[in-house]
């Protein structure tokens, strides 16, 4: 079959398509990539059955020679898929017609459509992991640079939407770093564990007789994929592991993106996305919207629904499912696409992030020392007890000027000098182990990369 004049690449297109994925990841997820993977599966099946003496070597060679995606039209195959409920059936029909007559009995021998599509989706996921991993590596490296450069840059920490106590921007970036590195590791593990699938009609490989296990092992080896002890037609744990890993990646990138978006708010102004050519508004000439933060956040909002669909589809009846298996295909590809786009945009966002330490200090000081109330109470507690110290400092915090109220309170001044109060109100003295935690995160990242 000759390709049509306008073959679909299966990638999101039009006005919105470029806003969710990443081109290099999407290239491994579209129709050409899936078609190529399906044909790679058919070629591996031919080689494996020849290895086991099931298929004549000449027939296997002829089948392999015709397993090239350029020979087939994904648009036509997609239209024909409706009749059988999956695209494997029309592909096998086209492949069978293409090979010499002597090889036709051996095309797709012993396999079922689920074997081909499950294994093809495994190949697609594994191949998409390579560019996706590169984006994650870049995001991890960018977060590490921010953590190292701002190890001691003091800022205010916020809890429940309110200013809380001093921290460092380095520690915030170290949190992004650790989350991204953990997500990268889990995705790598999940991708490496995606197995080949070969079970035949009902998972017995009866068509191969006693050679069934050998064919399955050789099949996986030809594809460079792990083999399983028995077919996993109705046990979907590999897909669930991949879905969970992608969901974790979206959570890690989403955490960094949400923080950046909040810190970039006009009233906060502690960071800004770096590319001057991005973030414009159609109505307001002054606007610089944090677009990478926005688009990563959008991907994180889509991810949980896709993960939930894959988990909901994981319960399959008997030996082959009616509908549950079919429900996996598009959500899995969409989830991988969202993960790729989020990783790429997070890397770009962090690499170009402009940090404003002066503004961070202004915001920290704006509350007049209130964010050091915990530090003052901690200094006072050994003398009066923790509960009393808390109440005394809370009383001072309710006054218009916190420092002045502390110094004017005789119950506090009986135990703290003016120098004691000023030391307690120094944010650099109330950072705890922030610097050590940054160092730990950087060391862990170096060990993982080394």
CATH of the domain at 65: 1.20.200.10
Please check whether residues 153 and 54 belong to one and the same domain.
yes
Exposed (0-12), middle (13-18) or buried (19+): which is 16, by Cβ within 10 Å? exposed
pLDDT of residue 70: 93
- pLDDT (0 to 100) of residue 13: 61
Tokens 């086209």, residue? 94
Tokens standing for residue 227 = 């083999």
Q: Has residue 11 been placed in a domain?
A: no
pLDDT at residue 6, rounded to an integer: 41
**Whole-angstrom distance, CA of residue 29 vs CA of residue 23:** 10
- 386 and 327 within one domain: no
Total number of residues shown for the chain: 450
Which pairs from 264-270 meet CB under 8 Å and 24+ separation?
Answer: 264/290, 264/293, 268/359, 268/363, 269/356, 269/359, 270/155, 270/169, 270/355, 270/356, 270/359, 270/360, 270/363
Does residue 4 lie in a domain region? no
pLDDT of 12 strictly over 90: no
> Is-catalytic flag, 281?
yes
Residue 82 shares a structural domain with residue 165: yes
pLDDT at 1: 45
Give residue-wise pLDDT tens across range 369-390: 999 999 999 999 999 999 999 9
Identify whether residues 329 and 380 lie together within a single domain: no
127 with 149, same domain: the answer is yes
Of all residues in the chain, what percent carry a pLDDT higher than 70? 94
pLDDT in tens, 138-192: 999 999 999 999 999 999 999 999 999 999 999 999 999 999 999 999 999 999 9
- Tell me what pLDDT residue 15 has: 77
Looking at the fold, whether 169 and 235 belong to one and the same domain comes out as yes
**Sorting pLDDT into bands at 50, 70 and 90, what band is 287?**
low
Element holding 174 (H helix, E strand): helix 169-192
Q: Do 311 and 374 sit in the same domain of this protein?
A: no
**Band of residue 7 on the pLDDT scale cut at 50, 70, 90:** very low
The pLDDT value recorded for residue 277 is: 60
Q: What is the pLDDT of residues 23-79, one digit of tens each?
A: 999 999 999 999 999 999 999 999 999 999 999 999 999 999 999 999 999 999 999
Buried b (16+ CB within 10 A) or exposed e, 127-164: bbbebbbbbbbbbbbbbbbbbbebbebbbbebeeeeee
pLDDT exceeds 50 at position 5 = no
C-alpha dist (Å) from residue 98 to 48, 63, 94, 317: 20, 9, 6, 36
**How many Å apart are CA 381 and CA 384, to the nearest integer?**
5
As a whole number, mean pLDDT of residues 422-429 equals: 96
**Does 197 have pLDDT greater than 80?**
yes
C-alpha dihedral (353, 357, 362, 367), degrees to nearest 10: 80
Chain-centroid distance, C-alpha 326:
23
- As a whole number of angstroms, the distance between CA 351 and CA 354 comes to 9
Among residues 4, 79, 235, 281, which one is catalytic?
Answer: 281
Residue 12 lies in a domain: no
Greater pLDDT, 448 or 267: 267
Q: For residue 280, what pLDDT is reported?
A: 53
Residues 260 and 356 in one domain: yes
432: domain range?
366-444
Pair (89, 183) in one structural domain: yes
* Whole-number pLDDT of residue 4: 44
| Residue 417 belongs to a domain | yes
pTM over 0.75: yes
Q: Domain boundary residue among 360, 393, 413?
A: 360
Q: What local confidence, expressed as pLDDT, does residue 19 receive? A: 81
Residue 5, domain member (yes or no): no
Query: Does the pLDDT at position 429 exceed 90?
Result: yes
The domain boundary residue, chosen from 328, 360, 392: 360
The pLDDT value given to residue 8 = 44
**Average pLDDT over the chain, rounded to whole?**
93
Do 377 and 314 fall into the same domain?
no
CATH number of the domain bearing residue 410: 1.10.40.30
In a domain, 207, yes or no: yes
What total of structural domains would you count in the chain?
2
Q: Do the Cβ atoms of 286 and 329 come closer than 8 Å? A: no
Q: Is 320 a residue of the active site?
A: yes
- pLDDT value of residue 2: 44
Instruction: Give the confidence band of 289 by pLDDT, cuts at 50, 70, 90.
Output: confident
Least confidently predicted of 172-181, 196-205, 267-276, 434-443: 267-276
The whole-number pLDDT of residue 449 equals 81
Residue 284: pLDDT over 80: no
pLDDT at 285: 55
Distance in angstroms (rounded) separating the CA atoms of residues 244 and 229 = 23
Q: Which two tokens stand for residue 113?
A: 């459509």
354 in the same domain as 234? yes
Of the residues 336, 360, 384, the one at which a domain ends: 360
pLDDT higher at 277 or 101? 101
DSSP-derived pairing of the beta strands 271-272 and 354-355 = antiparallel
| Same domain (yes/no): 224, 318 | yes
Residue 372 inside a domain? The answer is yes
Among residues 236, 239, 320, 348, which one is catalytic?
320
What pLDDT band is residue 259 in, cutting at 50, 70 and 90?
A: very high
109: helix, strand or coil: coil
| Residue 149 forms part of a structural domain | yes
Q: With beta carbons less than 8 A apart as the criterion, state whether 173 and 118 touch.
A: no
């Amino acid at each position: 079959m000759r390709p049509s004049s306008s073959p679909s690449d299966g990638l999101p297109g039009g006005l919105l398509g470029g806003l969710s994925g990443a081109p290099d990841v999407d290239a491994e997820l579209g129709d050409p990539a899936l078609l190529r993977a399906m044909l790679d599966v058919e070629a591996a099946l031919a080689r494996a059955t020849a290895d086991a003496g099931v298929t004549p070597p000449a027939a296997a060679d002829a089948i392999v020679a015709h397993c090239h995606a350029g020979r087939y039209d994904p648009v036509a195959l997609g239209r024909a898929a409706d009749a059988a409920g999956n695209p494997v059936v029309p592909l096998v029909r086209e492949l069978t017609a293409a090979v010499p007559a002597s090889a036709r009995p051996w095309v797709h021998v012993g396999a079922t459509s689920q074997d081909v599509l499950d294994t093809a989706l495994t190949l697609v996921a594994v191949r998409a992991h390579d560019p996706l991993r590169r984006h994650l590596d870049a995001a991890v490296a960018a977060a590490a640079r921010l953590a190292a450069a701002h190890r001691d840059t003091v800022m205010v920490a916020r809890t429940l939407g309110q200013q809380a106590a001093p921290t460092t921007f380095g520690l915030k970036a170290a949190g992004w770093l650790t989350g991204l590195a953990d997500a990268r590791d889990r995705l790598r593990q999940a991708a490496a564990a995606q197995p080949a699938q070969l079970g035949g009609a009902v998972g017995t490989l009866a068509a191969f007789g006693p050679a069934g296990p050998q064919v399955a092992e050789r099949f996986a080896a030809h594809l460079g994929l792990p083999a399983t002890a028995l077919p996993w037609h109705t046990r979907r744990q590999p897909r669930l592991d991949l879905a969970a890993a992608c969901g974790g990646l979206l959570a890690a990138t989403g955490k960094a993106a949400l923080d950046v978006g909040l810190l970039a708010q006009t009233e906060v102004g502690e960071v800004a996305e770096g590319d001057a050519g991005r973030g414009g508004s159609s109505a307001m000439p002054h606007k610089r919207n944090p677009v990478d933060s926005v688009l990563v956040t959008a991907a994180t909002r889509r991810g949980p629904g896709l993960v939930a669909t894959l988990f909901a589809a994981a319960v399959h009846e008997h030996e082959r499912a009616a509908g549950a298996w079919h429900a996996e295909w598009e959500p899995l590809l969409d989830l991988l696409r969202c993960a790729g786009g989020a990783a790429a945009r997070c890397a770009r966002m962090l690499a170009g992030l402009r940090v404003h330490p002066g503004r961070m200090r202004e915001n920290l000081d704006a509350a007049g020392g209130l964010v050091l109330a915990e530090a003052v109470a901690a200094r006072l507690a050994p003398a009066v007890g923790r509960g009393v110290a808390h109440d005394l400092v809370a009383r001072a915090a309710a006054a218009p000027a916190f420092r002045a109220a502390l110094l004017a309170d005789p119950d506090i001044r009986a135990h703290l000098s003016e120098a004691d109060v000023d030391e307690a109100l120094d944010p650099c003295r109330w950072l705890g182990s922030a610097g050590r935690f940054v160092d730990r995160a950087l060391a862990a990242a170096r060990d993982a990369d080394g």
